[in-house]
């Protein structure tokens, strides 16, 4: 195998696209010490050889699936029940958290309501004359604001009367 072919085969190997025959050819090239192979590939192949990893033959997939299908269902079926129990545990934790939160929230609201209900209104003024003076100022302020709103309302009424006169439908107060 030429240097360029080995380089292309090595690239294919790193992409995980080699066949078993191509990998065997690469292993032979490493064992023969051919030039053109990267140090990384040499290290990987030498480490695999030194570790004594078993060779996977063509019948590996068939043997794996036969063993997996022949396995007794009761001998290792803890994965599904564990996942099921984890779901129940998560649901229980969530339920406890929501219940506890709601309990404390409503307890706090109940205490706030009880505090407000038992609280006696406090007078903000000691002197009744001062309270009367403050109340009069507030009422005068409200009265001024209401009176200031009467002017635009009067303009609207006058506009409406003019419109009704122009259209020939006088207002009931205009009739004599």
pLDDT at 126 over 90: no
Contact 37, 29 (CB under 8 A): yes
- pTM for this prediction: 0.33
pLDDT at 24 over 70: yes
50/91: higher pLDDT: 91
Hey, how many other C-beta atoms are within 10 angstroms of the C-beta on 164?
Answer: 14
- Going from the C-alpha of 170 to that of each of 57, 152, 156, the distances in angstroms are 108, 21, 15
For residue range 63-113, what is the model confidence (pLDDT) as tens digits?
A: 777 887 776 555 555 556 777 888 889 999 999 999 999 998 988 888 888
Q: Report the phi/psi class of residue 127: left, alpha or beta, with left for phi > 0 and alpha for psi in -120 to 50.
A: beta
Contact 37, 6 (CB under 8 A): yes
Residues 36-61, mean pLDDT to the nearest whole number: 75
């Amino acid at each position: 195998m030429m240097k360029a072919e080995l380089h292309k085969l090595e690239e294919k190997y790193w992409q995980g696209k080699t066949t078993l025959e191509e990998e065997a050819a690469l292993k032979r090239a490493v064992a023969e010490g051919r030039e053109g192979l990267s140090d990384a590939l040499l290290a990987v192949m030498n480490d695999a050889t030194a570790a004594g990893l078993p060779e996977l033959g063509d019948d590996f997939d068939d043997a794996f699936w036969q063993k997996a299908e022949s396995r007794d269902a009761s001998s290792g079926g803890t994965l599904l029940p564990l996942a099921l129990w984890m779901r129940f545990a998560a649901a229980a934790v969530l339920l406890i958290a929501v219940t506890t939160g709601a309990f404390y929230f409503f307890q706090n609201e109940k205490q706030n309501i009880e505090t407000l209900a038992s609280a006696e209104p406090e007078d903000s003024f000691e002197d009744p004359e001062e309270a009367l003076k403050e109340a009069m100022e507030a009422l005068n302020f409200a009265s001024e604001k209401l009176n200031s709103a009467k002017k635009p309302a009067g303009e609207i009424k006058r506009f409406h009367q003019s419109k009704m006169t122009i259209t020939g439908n006088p207002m009931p107060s205009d009739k004599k």
